[in-house]
Amino acid sequence: MKEHQGAYCTGTYRNLLAEYGYGEEAIQRRLDETWEQLFEGDEETRIYYPSGEDMGYMLDTGNLDVRTEGMSYGMMMAVQYDRQDVFDRIWKWTVTYMYMTEGDNAGYFAWSCAPDGKRLSNGPAPDGEEYFALALLFASHRWGDREAPFNYGTQARDLLRTCLHKGEDGPGYPMWNPDNKLIKFVPNCEFSDPSYHLPHFYELFALWAYPEDRAFWKEAAEASRQYLHLACHPVTGLAPEYAYYDGTPNNERGYGHFFSDAYRVAANLGLDWEWFAADPWQREAVGKIQAFFADKEPEDYRRYTISGEPFEEPALHPVGLLATNAMASLAADGPQAKACVDLFWNTPVRTGKRRYYDNCLYLFALLALSGNYRIWMPRGEA
């Protein structure tokens, strides 16, 4: 028997905040308040906006656009909070304005639109698609399917099929390389983004995708875990924003360093360990990341090489970075695990122009650290 089993096997989710001494009432109050701030709050905190009678969108407040990243994040947040009303509004907006029916990217979602729905790009970003798919599967299991587009399970399985098979009998490219099973940065290029790698999602796709695709997803989970071994620096644990398939940084456009995208790697390692506990290396990796930041204050966070050399450029999203480092404590067993969680707990949500990305990562960390970022199983299997 393994030393530790993940929540998928046990059905038990760690409330790390409670383990570290925070009270249940205080934790629930923080959960409620954070949802209210992000989804119902004033213009200094909110990132969700209702649109018309039955739609809504997540606004990237720094760029004033609507991205598949944020829309899929909002759907995952809504299903975890049991807010089907918000989930359906976001999904309808996504289907109405972002879903592409023509050209090389038909079947995918345009990664950026204006708040009025105008398409700003005809290209997709795979991190949105993978979050859409799992959020839809969780919605199907938690709430049941209805008429299209709220036949969540079918929508998810069709999307996953497109992600794997696009281009086989027509124009376009798949989002995963069919040979090495690694997710691409965008479909028509052959490199990756380490923060896109979500093996804990792929384990679930291997259960609930169309039967003919399930073996691929199981292999993709293992391939992504091994890829992160290559992409994370052996001393600091830091990963680059973009990396080649061998894990080495892709710095062709200046994205081969540890910056905004890459913060998510620590959070993903923490949640994969919490759900599946399949790769003990993850505990070492997040310990190294936390140790690297142990002597740094959030106001001093910078862009770094993956070996840890700082640039003058300050971090754009320090709250997001400290949130992902806290979420990593689900896997960490080193001396910095509690300190990272305490820093997170004592930090409020970000306000102002650049709050969107920070506060998405903040809410995911809060859900995960309180034991509320959960796998929603099919009815009858919970």
Q: pLDDT per residue over 149-160, tens digit each? A: 999 999 999 999
Residues 7 and 59 in one domain: no
- Residue 186: the pLDDT is 97
- Residue 340: the pLDDT is 98
In a domain, 360, yes or no: yes
In a domain, 342, yes or no: yes
In a domain, 194, yes or no: no
Check pLDDT > 60 for residue 147. Answer: yes
Residues 347 and 328 in one domain: yes
Q: What is the CATH number of the domain that holds 265?
A: 1.50.10.10
Residue of 69, 203, 274, 279 marked active site: 69
Whether 261 sits among the annotated catalytic residues: the reply is yes
Residues 35 and 64 in one domain: no
Residues 170-182: pLDDT tens digits?
A: 999 999 999 999 9
In a domain, 319, yes or no: yes
In a domain, 32, yes or no: yes
Kindly state the average pLDDT of the residues 323-348.
97
Residues 283 and 255 in one domain: yes
Kindly state the average pLDDT of the residues 182-208.
98
Residues 258 and 345 in one domain: yes
Q: What is the mean pLDDT of the chain?
A: 97
Containing structural domain, residue 257: 1-41+220-376
In a domain, 58, yes or no: yes
Residues 337-354: pLDDT tens digits?
A: 999 999 999 999 999 999
Residue after which a domain boundary falls, among 175, 209, 234: 175
Check pLDDT > 80 for residue 2. Answer: no
Residues 201-250: pLDDT tens digits?
A: 999 999 999 999 999 999 999 999 999 999 999 999 999 999 999 999 99
Residue after which a domain boundary falls, among 175, 200, 229: 175
**pLDDT band for position 382 (50/70/90)?**
low
Residues 146 and 60 in one domain: yes
Kindly state the average pLDDT of the residues 355-372.
98
Residues 229 and 253 in one domain: yes
- HEC string of the chain equals CCCCCCHHHHCCCCCHHHHCCCCHHHHHHHHHHHHHHHHHCCCCCCCEEEECCCEEEECECCCCEEEHHHHHHHHHHHHHCCCHHHHHHHHHHHHHHHECCCCCCCCCECCEECCCCCECCCCCCHHHHHHHHHHHHHHHHHHCCCCCCCCHHHHHHHHHHHHHHCCCCCCCCCCECCCCCCECCCCCCCCECHHHCCHHHHHHHHHHCCHHHHHHHHHHHHHHHHHHHHHCCCCCCCCCCCECCCCCECCCCCCCCECHHHHHHHHHHHHHHHHHCCCCHHHHHHHHHHHHHCCCCHHHCEEECCCCCEEEEECCCHHHHHHHHHHHHHCCCCCCHHHHHHHHHCCCCCCCCCHHHHHHHHHHHHHHHCCCCCCCCCCCCC
In a domain, 333, yes or no: yes
Check pLDDT > 80 for residue 290. Answer: yes
Percentage of the residues of the chain whose pLDDT score is greater than 90: 96
Check pLDDT > 90 for residue 361. Answer: yes
In a domain, 302, yes or no: yes
Kindly state the average pLDDT of the residues 80-101.
98
Whether 193 sits among the annotated catalytic residues: the reply is no
Residue of 261, 272, 274, 358 marked active site: 261
Residues 137 and 229 in one domain: no
- Residue 3: the pLDDT is 57
Residues 266 and 123 in one domain: no
Q: For the chain, what is the domain count?
A: 2
